[in-house]
Structure 1
């Protein structure tokens, strides 16, 4: 008998009002953002919004095209007329090379600085 696989970063998935989140911290932040939206401080709150960082490409040496490189933001909303992108991160996931590269590309490609929560 095999045990269920533990999450890599010890997070616990949570469902809140029918929306699935990767951690309790992320679900809690969603609740906070919903309150801000109801109060009129932010608008157009979206979860798991994908930004294209690099388009799909086809290499001559490979049979299939490579998919576009995307950044999947935990939360996107508008505050004071500008788009805000938030990502809920632990100390460990903040340090990941792939995340740091995608954060850099978000600023370079889209002019958006990712806010880490």
Structure 2
């Protein structure tokens, strides 16, 4: 993994793997895990940074309001046909909490929130 010098506001280093830029080392590590799972036929496929519409853009009183989107880290298609939406987080922001609620209301799916622990690997957080 080759690190890019730019840091996010949360101190994460951007990481480039296979030409894809990830916001953290944990995201890059999960990507590598998904690649391995796909090669081992444990999952059907996965998408990087899928984007979901949460609210359409609109005009009101002559003012234009842009659409609101949520961009997950991964969309994992399992062998049984189910889909998991995965987000890797070090800290849960207010913006993420709001977008998560809007996503779950509109799509009726849940976002699986993971955090990387150096001793236990990826663990699910709520």
TM-score by length of 1: 0.86
Q: Which has the higher helix share?
A: 1
Residue correspondence of structure 1 range 73-84 to structure 2 within 5 A: 73-79=72-78, 80-84=80-84
Counterpart-to-counterpart distance in 2, 1:101 and 1:41: 32
SS at match of 2:71: strand
Gaps of 5+ in 2: 115-126
Q: Deviations over 1:65-115 (max 9, x none)?
A: 22211110100021121111000100x2x1x11101111111110011001
Offset of 1:43 from its aligned partner?
Answer: 2.0
Q: Which has the higher strand share?
A: 2
RMSD: 1.6
Identify which of structures 1 and 2 has the higher relative contact order when contacts are C-alpha pairs closer than 8 Å and 6+ apart: 1
Counterpart-to-counterpart distance in 1, 2:103 and 2:9: 25
Aligned length: 109
Say if 2:35 is the partner of 1:7: no
Moved over 3 A (4+): none
